[in-house]
Amino acid sequence: MRTVRDAAFDELRRHGLTTLFANPGSTEIPLLADLPDDLRFVLALHEGSVVGAATGWAVIRDEPALVLLHTTAGLGNAVGALATARANRAPLVVLVGQQDRRHLAHEPFLTGRLDSLAGDYPVRVETPLRAQDVPGALGRAVHAARTGRGPALVIVPMNDWAEPAEDLPAPAPAVLRPADGARAESVAEVAALLTGARAPALVVGAAADSPGTWSALVALAERLGCPVWQESFGARAGFPQDHALFAGHLPADRGRLRAALAPHDLVLTIGAPVLRQYAYAEGPLVHPGTRLALVTDDPAEAHRAPVELAVLAPLADFCTRLAARVPPRAADPVPPPARPRPAPPAAGGPLRTAHVMTALAERLPADTVVVEETPSGRPDLHALLPARAPLGFLSAAMGGLGFALPAAVGARMAEPRRPVVAVLGDGSLLYQVQALWTAAHYDVGAVVVVLSNGRYAIMDRLVEKAGGKGPWPGFEDISVHGLATSLGCPAERITDHGRLLAALDAAVPTLRTRTRPLVLDVAVEPDPAFEP
C-alpha cells in the first residue's frame, strides 16, 4: 500500500529536498525509520545548530533547505534560529512533528501547541486538515519559502505518515515562476532621480548579494561616479568591498549616519532596509536636504521604508536596466582612507583582533565565505577583511548569537569545494559549540577561527560606556581547544603571532580540499580603543 509518507517523499524529491537537517524525537520515528537511501540525514545536537546549518546551506545554494524539528521542545529551541533565518532571507521548509492525531483532543504527552509557537517569523504555517493533505502542504511550503524568503512550517501528526495515500488532492505547482522583470516606468523614475541629483550615493545590502546584482551595481556606481555604502549590520555584502568606490559600512547611530550622508542630496538604497539603526537616538535619519529612495524585492521592506519612492523589483534586472539608462557623469570621488594594518605585536606582546584579521586578509582566497559572529571584532573585520566576491561574507541579520558556527557547517556542506572560514568570539561559540560534532562527524572541511578572550567584551564595553559595571563574570576557565577536541574536532591553541601565522600558512592552502574541520583557538586581548 502506498502511504502518505511515500507520497511526501516523492513531493520532496520533486523539489530537490533530499538533505534533511534534524534533531528528532519520538514523534518523528514513523517518518524516519528505514529512511530511503536517496535521502541524506544530517544530525545536529541542538535545534539551533539544525536550523543554523540549514540556513547556511540555503543561503549558499539559494534554494530551500529541509529541516525536521520535534514538537514543542524542538520548535521552541529553534525559534531564535528561525528568526535569524527570516532576517537572513533564507528559504527553509520546516517539518514539525506532532502527537498522534487520533487523541490530540485529550492533549497527550508530547502534544504541542505549535501553530503560533514561532510567532510571526515563519512565512507560512500549515497543519494539514487530514493526512492526505500532507504532500500538498509540503509543496506549498516550498513555494512559500522561496517567495517569502524565510521558514515555512508544516506540522504533521505522527500517525499521518502511515495513512493510505488515497484521494490525494491536486499537488502544489511543480514550478512557480515569480515576476522576473523590472517595469520600464519604475526604472525611468529612479533614473530621473539619480540624473537630477547633484551628489548621489548608493547604500547596498544583503539582498544585492548575487553575481548579477554585484555586476550591475558596479556598472551603475561607475557611471554615477558615486560612493557605495554597505548597510549597517548587514547579513551579506551587497558590493565588492575592495572596489575604489566602496565607502565603507554605514554607522548605526543617527548622529554619525547623518554626518556620513550629509554630502549627498539623494541616497538610493538597494536591497537593504532604510536605514537600519541600533540604539535609538533623537533626530531624523538624514539632513532635510537629503532625499531617500529604495529598490527592493522584499514587500515588507518597501512597506515600512521612510522614503519618497520605493520600488519592488528583481534587483539584478532592475539595476542592469538602471545602469544602462543613467547618463555617465564626470566625478572624482575621494574614497575614505584605508584603515592602516597594525604592526605585528612586539615579542611576547598580546595578540589583538586586528592582528588576526590582517593575517586572514593576507592569506584567504578571494572567494572564501567568511562567516562572522564577533560583536567586538566586527569593526576590525569590516575594515581589514573585505568581501571580494558574492557570498564572501555571511552574518546573522537578527543579531542573536549562535548562528556562525552551524551556518559555516551548512555552507561548506552546500559547496564542498568553496573555502569556508568562520570567525567568531568564544562567547558566540559557546551558544552552538555542539555544531563542531556535526562538522567532525560529517567530514565538513570548514576552518573555525575563535577569538578567545574569556569574556563578553562587547557587553563589558557597553556597560562601561553607560557608566556602570556589569554583574556577569568572565569565563577564562573554559577551554575552547578542549571543547573542540572532546567533540571530535581537531584544534590548535594559539597564543603568539608567529604561531598564528604558521597555523594559517598550514591551513589556508587546504581550504578547498580539506575534509576535516579545524578550530584555531586564538588568545586575544580586547582592543582598548574599541568603541561599540
Using CA atoms, how far residue 25 sits from 6, 22, 43, 82, 298, in Å, is 20, 10, 12, 19, 35
The pTM is what?
A: 0.93
Report the 10 Å Cβ neighbour count for 4.
Answer: 26
CATH topology of domain 4-162: Rossmann fold (3.40.50)
**Edge-to-edge, what's the strand order for the sheet holding 151-157?**
40-43, 19-22, 65-70, 92-98, 151-157, 124-126
For 390-415, how does the pLDDT look when each residue is reduced to its tens digit (9 = 90+)? 999 999 988 889 999 999 999 999 99
Can you give the pLDDT at residue 144? 94
Q: What is the mean pLDDT of residues 56-75?
A: 96
For 115-147, how does the pLDDT look when each residue is reduced to its tens digit (9 = 90+)? 999 999 999 999 999 999 999 999 999 999 999
Indicate the range of 157-161, 176-180, 277-281 predicted with least confidence: 176-180
91 phi and psi angles, rounded to 5 deg: -75, 120
Can you give the pLDDT at residue 349? 83
Residue 257 has pLDDT above 80, yes or no: yes
Using CA atoms, how far residue 84 sits from 78, 100, 236, 394, 452, in Å, is 10, 30, 13, 12, 24
Print burial letters for 344-355: b (CB count within 10 Å at least 16), e (below 16): ebeeeeebbbbb
Can you give the pLDDT at residue 475? 82
Indicate the range of 154-158, 252-256, 465-469 predicted with least confidence: 465-469
Report the 10 Å Cβ neighbour count for 495.
Answer: 13
Can you give the pLDDT at residue 336? 62
Residue 267 has pLDDT above 80, yes or no: yes
Alpha helices by DSSP H, 426-479:
426-429, 435-441, 457-465
Residue 186: in which H helix or E strand, if any? Answer: helix 184-196
To which residue does cell 588576526 refer? 356
Contact 20, 66 (CB under 8 A): yes
For 456-501, how does the pLDDT look when each residue is reduced to its tens digit (9 = 90+)? 888 887 788 788 888 888 888 999 999 999 999 999 999 999 999 9
Residue 521 has pLDDT above 90, yes or no: yes
Contact 257, 282 (CB under 8 A): no
For 191-233, how does the pLDDT look when each residue is reduced to its tens digit (9 = 90+)? 999 999 999 999 999 999 999 999 999 999 999 999 999 999 8
**CA–CA distance, 154 with 95 (Å, rounded to integer):** 5
Contact 57, 21 (CB under 8 A): yes
To which residue does cell 555542539 refer? 434
- pLDDT class for 335, splitting at 50, 70, 90? low
For 24-49, how does the pLDDT look when each residue is reduced to its tens digit (9 = 90+)? 999 999 999 999 999 999 999 999 99
The residue extents of the domains of the chain are: 4-162, 184-325, 353-523
Residue 367 has pLDDT above 60, yes or no: yes
Topology alike, domains 4-162 and 353-523: yes
Amino acid sitting at position 472 = W
Q: Domain 184-325 is classified in which CATH homologous superfamily?
A: TPP-binding domain (3.40.50.1220)
Q: Domain 353-523 is classified in which CATH homologous superfamily?
A: Thiamin diphosphate (ThDP)-binding fold, Pyr/PP domains (3.40.50.970)
Percentage of the chain beyond pLDDT 90 is 75
Percentage of the chain beyond pLDDT 70 is 97
Q: What is the 3-state secondary structure (H, E, C) of 261-305?
A: HCCCCEEEEECCCCCCCCCCCCCCCCCCCCEEEEEECCHHHHHCC
Contact 473, 88 (CB under 8 A): no
Q: Is 433 helix (H, G, I), strand (E, B) or coil?
A: coil
